[in-house]
């Protein structure tokens, strides 16, 4: 599965777990305005992704300091794609 597939699946689980129906989850969708995700939902998404992808790009100190704005599904995909392609040990 691609990062987009994993992210889509995670968001679906979050919405289902919280008793909400899953709208169309496309890369251009806004996480808050379109999908209705709050910070708890995002935190859960990240935990689910850590389980499926084996990484949590938000836990690394550098990532927290220069955390890019996460507004859309595509923003999330970019963060995970970049984290997956650069092993964390190479961070200076």
Partner 1 sequence: MTTAANATTIAHLADAPPEDRLASAVGLVARQFPDRTAIVAEAGGDARRVIDYATLAAAIAKLEAEVAAARPVGIVARARRVESLAVIAAACGREHVPVAFLAEDARDLVGELRDWVVLDDSLALPAAAAPRREFETVPPQVVVATSGTSGPPKLVEHSWDSLLAAARLAEQWHGRGWLLVYDATRWAGLQVWLQALLTAGRVVVPVSRDPDIVARACVDEDVSILPATPTLLRRLITSGDRGLVTRMPLDRITLGGEAADAPLLARAAELFPAAKIGHVYATTELGEVFRVGDGRAGFPAEWIGRQLPGGARLSLRRDGELLVQLSRDTAEVATGDLVERRGNRFEFTGRRSDVIVVGGAKVFPRRVEEILRGVPGIADARVYGLPSAITGELVAAEIVAHDPLPAGTTPDQVRSAALAVCRERLEAHAVPRVVDVVKMLTTTAAGKIPRR
- CB closer to partner 1 out of 33 and 47: 47
Residues engaged in binding partner 1 (CB under 8 A): 17-19, 39-40, 42-44, 46-48, 56, 58-59, 63-64
DSSP assignment of 50-65: HHHHS--TTTSHHHHH
In whole angstroms, give the CA distance from residue 50 to residue 3: 12
Residue 67 DSSP class: P
Q: Closest separation between CB of residue 58 and partner 1, Å?
A: 4
Joined together, the tokens standing for residue 28 give 């251009």
Beta carbon nearer to partner 1, 42 or 53: 42
Shortest reach from residue 84's CB to partner 1, in Å: 17
């Amino acid at each position: 599965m691609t990062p987009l597939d994993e992210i889509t699946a995670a968001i679906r689980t979050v919405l289902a777990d919280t008793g909400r129906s899953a709208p169309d989850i496309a890369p251009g969708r806004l996480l808050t305005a379109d999908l209705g995700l709050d910070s708890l939902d995002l935190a859960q998404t990240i935990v689910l992704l850590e389980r499926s992808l084996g990484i949590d790009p938000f836990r690394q100190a550098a990532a927290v300091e220069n955390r890019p704005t996460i507004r859309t599904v595509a923003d999330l995909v970019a963060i995970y794609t970049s984290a997956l392609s650069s092993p964390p040990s190479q961070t200076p």
